[in-house]
Structure 1
Amino acid sequence: MKSKSRSKWSTISCILLVGALLSTCWGQSSSVHASATAYKFDFGAGGVTSGYTGVQASTAYNASTGYGFNTPANIKNVSASGTGIGSDAVQFVTFGTKSNNTFNVDLPNGLYEVKVTLGNTSRSSVAAEGVYQLINMTGDLATDQFQIPITDGQLNLLVTEGKVGAAFTLSALEITQVSTNPTTHPTIYVGGDSTVANYYPLANSVQGGWGQMLSKFINPNDYLVRNMASGGQIARGFRDDGQLEAILKYIKPGDYFIVQLGINDTNAKNNTTEAQFKEIMRDMVKQVKAKGATVILSTPQGRATDFNSSGVHNAEGRWYRAATVALAKEEQVPLIDLNVLSSSYFTSIGANATLALYMNGDTLHPNYAGATELARIVVDNMKAQGLY
């Protein structure tokens, strides 16, 4: 997958000497690299937005420029519905987290902030260094960012499947060095299903997951939040299909992994008994604990309609909650019993106000406001337990 040459360091040295030499070093008549640690790429066959380096599907990786596609034959130029950087894109024709169909950028080793803007796509994920980085970005021109350590002199990034049959496109990429030390900041990794996942645009989506809103209540100087949850996910899928793999690649002592599953596991079509669910979750707990990080198990909130005739909300019999509660005790890991905590909150505000926190005509999935309240409850309980 890596296409490297030691000659890239001459490129970087040249960039470091003086910004005026950038066009010579990178072979761009109007290079936009402000320094050796800031890079901006505009993808597609249309015009190049000021301040960006243009990259077309045919742009092959070249050690003298330090960037390009590893297999340009598997990339094509496509249009997009936005303006500026969002007016065009490239589409990844082949995909998969292990694909060598990557966009490669030579970088000095360190920690980087990577911002991606997709083109037109219904749902796509972003992978780099062979693992997922962003899960199920939904909607045209979705934007998100992540931090990644680079330890081998090159970033290898691609857009891949979030939904089979979707077009996996990339309109723009911005890369900024955060530190010369390739060590991730303290991080809270989150795993779960559609009640936890991100929805786009992140700042004002209609639907929300509490993992999406968690950063509203976490000081970024204390922890970054990396939400790896995805709609429809079950414990077996989270463990086996790449999401846990991405977390295990980066998680370290001092980090947290909060995982909430069980809703979809209870669906008969997924063929997962409560005993099987518990043991799969146990396996994930053990793998993360072996990395020296702290696992926090969470139980899912109930449905908006789980009120009894006395106006009390109770959902304790749902979503394999008993298995999660028992597992936390057996493995001696913290438990956020969001099922019970949210029920207490829902009871306090009443049935009508609770229903207003869910999507219209949907008693399971929270809207933006509902997800925000759930995230607040999660963080409040972390504080109550001395975890934050």
Structure 2
Amino acid sequence: MKLIGVSLLLITTIIAKSQTTSYKFDFGINKAAKGYIAVTPTTTFSYKTGYGFDQGSEVQAIDRGGNALTGDYITSSKPFYFSVKLPDGNYDVKVMLGDTKGNSATTVRAECRRLMLENIRTDFGKLVTKTFTVHVKDSMIRDAKQAVISNVKLKPREGSYLHWDNLLTLEFNDSVPKVCAVEITPNKKATTIFLAGNSTVVDQSREPWAAWGQMIPRFFEPGTIAVANYAESGETMKAFARERRLEKIFSLSKPGDYLFIEFTHNDQKPGGNHLDPFTTYKQTIKEWVAGARKRGMTPVLVTSMHRRNFDSTGHIINTLADYPEAMRQTAAEEKVALIDLNAMSKTLFEAWGPEQSLRAFVHYAANTFPGQDKALADNTHFSPYGAYELARCVVKGMAEARLPIAKYLVKEKIAFDPAHPDAVESFYWPLSSFVTAVKPDGN
């Protein structure tokens, strides 16, 4: 069995090295434009071709005539998924959206519901080209010569995630999504922001759950920043390192990249993974900070947001003990940038109040979603709306900390006051195809 495992690792390495990393796809029904690969409704993903529609997508092609690239497109009344086999790394994805004889509205997410383009609308007869930068990952850890030396120890449920698999999976969604073309090129220059955290940070794979880490890519200008979310539900700092997730991050990092660290919810619990706030918790953070700096990375500490726990006067009760304060002290002692999400979340949650805050967390009546026969009442994990608002807090924190990467933020999204959050009625999130009633690990 050991020999078989080694052989599989070697084969994976060879495939990754020899694999094509740039593509130009023409979506539609007619002959592809020159230099493009034709993608029709029957182009189903296979590892042999390395691309195609995935996850049971049901699509149709519409031909408006005229230009080979812009005269036809792929659309669907449901979310549809397109996957491309790629080695891990950062990629710029350019999409051409619209209809020469109609209008369109398209939201694009990548991998596990990672928000890239938000409700892109085109007027009648108009087309628009948009670009975003996405991080693709697998679970193999490679040395400087790209030889596989180890792997991340994944949890069983991670086998169904739309990452860890050397595929870039794009989700096209919204009321009238219309896709004319997709181009993919490697981006070797973008600064990578690696996220290390738990279920409040992870790219949640299923509706109605979400976390701030999967919303953050939407707030950066294309081509400049790649957000690499390595957080996972239920993680502690001890487990994250033991499962080699931190080692994977360090193996991919380059000087100038960032490491955002946000842990507390699970580290505070009794057991083998427990860390004491002012001793082992601070020491572990300092070790990670040193590891990042050794590799030329910029560490950033993010205090954990509160749980939804109000007292009788509508004020938040702190359930995180001394951990946020311990992280603040560590940031000061190590001269590390701090994003105080803990403080901002208190302001945010109290601005919502006990009733309105229910909309920001996973609180839904029974039968709101398919297969959900019991009410969901989770005061730790967020709805897409709540995750989006917390992401806006993190963006605010980046700007206030004067991080160099703040210059790449989408300017109109920087200004945000947690005391005056966006109205939930103004938030738009077309549901993905994947739904679960099972709460993520951690609390």
TM-score, length-scaled by structure 2:
0.53
Say if 1:276 and 1:104 are closer, same or farther in 2 by CA, change over 3 A. same
User: How much does 1:207 deviate?
Assistant: 0.9
The answer on 1:236 being equivalent to 2:252 is no
Of the three residues 186, 190, 195, the one matched with 2:191 is 186
The answer on 1:322 being equivalent to 2:325 is yes
User: How much does 1:80 deviate?
Assistant: 7.1
Matched AA of 2:312: S
* 2:274 corresponding residue in structure 1: 272
Instruction: Please state whether the residue corresponding to 1:268 is helix, strand or coil.
Output: coil
Aligned 8 A contact 1:207 1:367 in 2: yes
Could you list the per-position Cα deviations for residues 214-235 of structure 1 after superposition, in whole angstroms to 9, with x for gaps in the alignment? 1232223431211111000000
**Identity percentage of aligned residues:** 25
Number of aligned pairs? Answer: 295
* 1:19 corresponding residue in structure 2: none
Matched AA of 2:298: T
Higher relative contact order (CA 8 A, sep 6+): 2
Aligned 8 A contact 2:201 2:214 in 1: yes
Of the three residues 336, 349, 357, the one matched with 1:333 is 336
Say if 1:54 and 1:167 are closer, same or farther in 2 by CA, change over 3 A. closer
Per mean C-alpha deviation after superposition, the further-off stretch among 216-225 and 358-367 is 216-225
Aligned 8 A contact 1:136 1:162 in 2: no
Instruction: Please state whether the residue corresponding to 2:259 is helix, strand or coil.
Output: strand
* 2:228 corresponding residue in structure 1: 226
Could you say what the CA RMSD is over the residues aligned between the two structures, in angstroms?
Answer: 5.0
Aligned 8 A contact 1:304 1:363 in 2: yes
* 1:344 corresponding residue in structure 2: 347
* 2:401 corresponding residue in structure 1: 385
User: 1: distance between equivalents of 2:234 and 2:378?
Assistant: 15
Matched AA of 1:163: P
Instruction: Please state whether the residue corresponding to 2:216 is helix, strand or coil.
Output: helix
* 1:290 corresponding residue in structure 2: 294
User: 1: distance between equivalents of 2:251 and 2:325?
Assistant: 30
Instruction: Please state whether the residue corresponding to 2:312 is helix, strand or coil.
Output: coil
User: How much does 1:301 deviate?
Assistant: 0.9
User: How much does 1:372 deviate?
Assistant: 0.7
Instruction: Please state whether the residue corresponding to 1:146 is helix, strand or coil.
Output: strand
Aligned 8 A contact 2:314 2:354 in 1: yes
* 1:375 corresponding residue in structure 2: 391
Aligned 8 A contact 1:113 1:148 in 2: no
Matched AA of 2:235: Q
Aligned 8 A contact 2:134 2:227 in 1: no
Instruction: Please state whether the residue corresponding to 1:225 is helix, strand or coil.
Output: strand
User: How much does 1:242 deviate?
Assistant: 2.4
Matched AA of 1:372: Y
User: 1: distance between equivalents of 2:160 and 2:227?
Assistant: 27
User: 2: distance between equivalents of 1:171 and 1:333?
Assistant: 33
Could you list the per-position Cα deviations for residues 51-96 of structure 1 after superposition, in whole angstroms to 9, with x for gaps in the alignment? 56744xxx7xxxxx9x9xxxxxxxxxxx975558x99xxxxxxxxx
Instruction: Please state whether the residue corresponding to 1:359 is helix, strand or coil.
Output: strand
Say if 1:284 and 1:39 are closer, same or farther in 2 by CA, change over 3 A. farther
User: 1: distance between equivalents of 2:145 and 2:42?
Assistant: 30
User: How much does 1:258 deviate?
Assistant: 1.0
Equivalent runs, 1:48-59 vs 2, <5 Å = 50-51=42-43, 54-55=46-47
The answer on 1:302 being equivalent to 2:291 is no
User: How much does 1:264 deviate?
Assistant: 0.5
Say if 1:177 and 1:111 are closer, same or farther in 2 by CA, change over 3 A. farther
User: 1: distance between equivalents of 2:146 and 2:183?
Assistant: 14
Matched AA of 1:347: E
Instruction: Please state whether the residue corresponding to 2:194 is helix, strand or coil.
Output: strand
Of the three residues 248, 251, 273, the one matched with 2:250 is 248
User: 1: distance between equivalents of 2:359 and 2:214?
Assistant: 19
User: 2: distance between equivalents of 1:256 and 1:266?
Assistant: 25
User: 2: distance between equivalents of 1:271 and 1:113?
Assistant: 38
TM-score, length-scaled by structure 1:
0.60
* 1:75 corresponding residue in structure 2: none
User: How much does 1:312 deviate?
Assistant: 2.4
Say if 1:262 and 1:153 are closer, same or farther in 2 by CA, change over 3 A. closer
User: How much does 1:148 deviate?
Assistant: 7.2
Say if 1:113 and 1:240 are closer, same or farther in 2 by CA, change over 3 A. farther
User: How much does 1:309 deviate?
Assistant: 3.4
User: 2: distance between equivalents of 1:364 and 1:215?
Assistant: 22
Matched AA of 1:298: V
Aligned 8 A contact 1:188 1:258 in 2: yes
Matched AA of 1:207: W
User: 2: distance between equivalents of 1:379 and 1:49?
Assistant: 39
Of the three residues 182, 197, 210, the one matched with 2:212 is 210
Say if 1:148 and 1:35 are closer, same or farther in 2 by CA, change over 3 A. farther
User: 1: distance between equivalents of 2:393 and 2:158?
Assistant: 37
User: 2: distance between equivalents of 1:331 and 1:238?
Assistant: 22
Aligned 8 A contact 2:161 2:205 in 1: no
Aligned 8 A contact 1:301 1:315 in 2: no
Structure 1 segments (4+ residues) deviating >6 Å: 134-137, 148-155, 167-176
Aligned 8 A contact 1:160 1:168 in 2: no
Matched AA of 1:257: L
Runs of 5+ unmatched residues, structure 1? 13-31, 41-47, 60-64, 68-78, 88-102, 115-133, 138-143
